[in-house]
Amino acid sequence: MAYLFTSESVSEGHPDKVADQISDALIDNFLAFDPESKVACETLVTTGQVILAGEVKSSTYLDVQSIARDVIKKIGYTKSEYMFEANSCGVLSAIHEQSADINQGVDRASKEEQGAGDQGMMFGYATNETEEFMPLALKLSHQILQELAALRRENSEITYLRPDAKSQVTLEYSDDNKPVRIDAIVVSTQHDDFADEPTMLAKIKKDIIEILIPRVIAKNPQYAHLFNEAIKYHINPTGKFVIGGPHGDTGLTGRKIIVDTYGGKGAHGGGAFSGKDPSKVDRSAAYATRHIAKNLVAAGVADEILVQVSYAIGVAEPTSINVNTYGTAKVNLTDGEIGKIVEKIFDMRPYFIEQRLKLRNPIYSETAAYGHMGRKNEVVTKTFKSPDGKEKTVEVELFTWEKLDYLDKVKNAFSL
């Protein structure tokens, strides 16, 4: 029987994403000057205020106020009428030293035996539904907001946009789990104040449908057939959306974990990513399981795969690795047998995950909005500035967990 499935996304200006981006900018700056930094940084943003808290073990010192303001400015909170503005908001830091009790469970005389930074379970998912091996509803939800942000920065076709926004896409699937059409699209975008509210709402709806959506279709011509005249559009369904961002809703690091991963497909262990250095398996092992799932699906092991790994704090070896192919396996093996082969191909001890995916580099700011998975693997040059005025320029590889660099190993192991 046909069914509907929905995923959502939030923009870089959403208060929770503002918090995520500040936390990850701090991670990048710590790692740029001290790759061995241990950091767990939480951010709270509200009207005119940024509050930083967390634990750090690092040999470097940062001007955290300046870093936070730079992130806010880049997002676009640059006007006083937003009630949250890069140059004027208060920035309070309550960051302190990491607990020695936790650190003794992570650091070891031999780096290879580095323990997991916490207990817990992490999941990685992949599906051959899109070329990125990601769920289509989430991909489209992200791209709607990426194009909306591009329109806001261009400030030509649509001139009234403010940074905060959310999207949602509902797909109809056929009996054989193939997307056949888009049933509904929801877009809520913050905007400048208008004197005539009914005219304003009509204009926003018209601009979203006639300017934004065609740009999304142009970026995804292979899915153009899913867009149809019968789509139910809900554009700013509550009406006026002038008050937004951290002034309209307090933002916290780690509150958009499903937006960050698979949009409700697969599973999530519950741990957030942003603000955590890679010794925290909440982050590194989630990236590693995505890397496994993507390489398995791309190699043809199954059409859809969920990989679970779990850890005990301070212990290097995972307590379990589980694979679920949802009955889509193309190899004559049980899911348990597939899992045993996966254990032999991928070393899931924390140190080896860090090395394999190059996670002790400043690569995290780019992950903090529009999803941590399904993104473009590329090499970029980044420059960081220390409080004493010194600059450090580094070349880093982003989204290493999206590489299909284990295809040959997987195909050999499964005789594909």
Q: If DSSP codes are grouped into helix, strand and coil, which group holds residue 340?
A: helix
- 165 is an annotated ligand-binding site residue: yes
Annotated binding residue 390? no
Has 240 been labeled as part of a binding site? yes
Is residue 329 part of an annotated ligand binding site? Answer: no
Q: Does the annotation flag 256 for ligand binding?
A: yes
* Residue 298 in marked binding region: no
Establish whether 384 is an annotated binding residue: no
The annotation status of 273 as a binding-site residue, yes or no, is no
408 is in an annotated binding site: no
Q: Tell me which residue of 304, 298, 306 sits closest to 339, measured CA to CA.
A: 306
Task: Tell me whether residue 255 is annotated as binding.
Answer: yes
Interatomic CA distance for residues 372 and 363, integer angstroms: 11
Residues contacting 40, CB < 8 A, separation 6+: 54, 55, 56, 98, 275, 276, 277, 280
Question: Can you tell me the distance from the alpha carbon of 306 to that of 325, in angstroms, rounded to the nearest whole number?
Answer: 6
Q: Confirm or deny that 272 is annotated as ligand binding.
A: yes
DSSP assigned state of 158? -
Does the annotation list 206 as a binding residue?
A: no
With CA atoms as reference, report the closest residue to 182 among 150, 213, 146: 213
218 is an annotated ligand-binding site residue: no
Alpha-carbon distance of 110 to 191, in angstroms, equals 54
**Residue 41 DSSP code:** E
153 is in an annotated binding site: no
276 labeled part of a ligand binding site? yes
Is the distance from CB of 274 to CB of 294 less than 8 angstroms?
no
C-beta separation of 135 from 8 below 8 A: no
Taking alpha carbons only, the member of 162, 189, 146 closest to residue 369 is 146
Which residue(s) pair with 28 in the sheet? none
Whether residue 265 is annotated as binding a ligand: the answer is no
The binding site for Mg(2+) comprises 16
The binding site for ATP comprises 14, 164-166, 240-241, 249, 255-256, 272, 276
The binding site for L-methionine comprises 55, 98, 249, 280
The binding site comprises 14, 16, 42, 55, 98, 164-166, 240-241, 249, 255-256, 272, 276, 280
The binding site for K(+) comprises 42
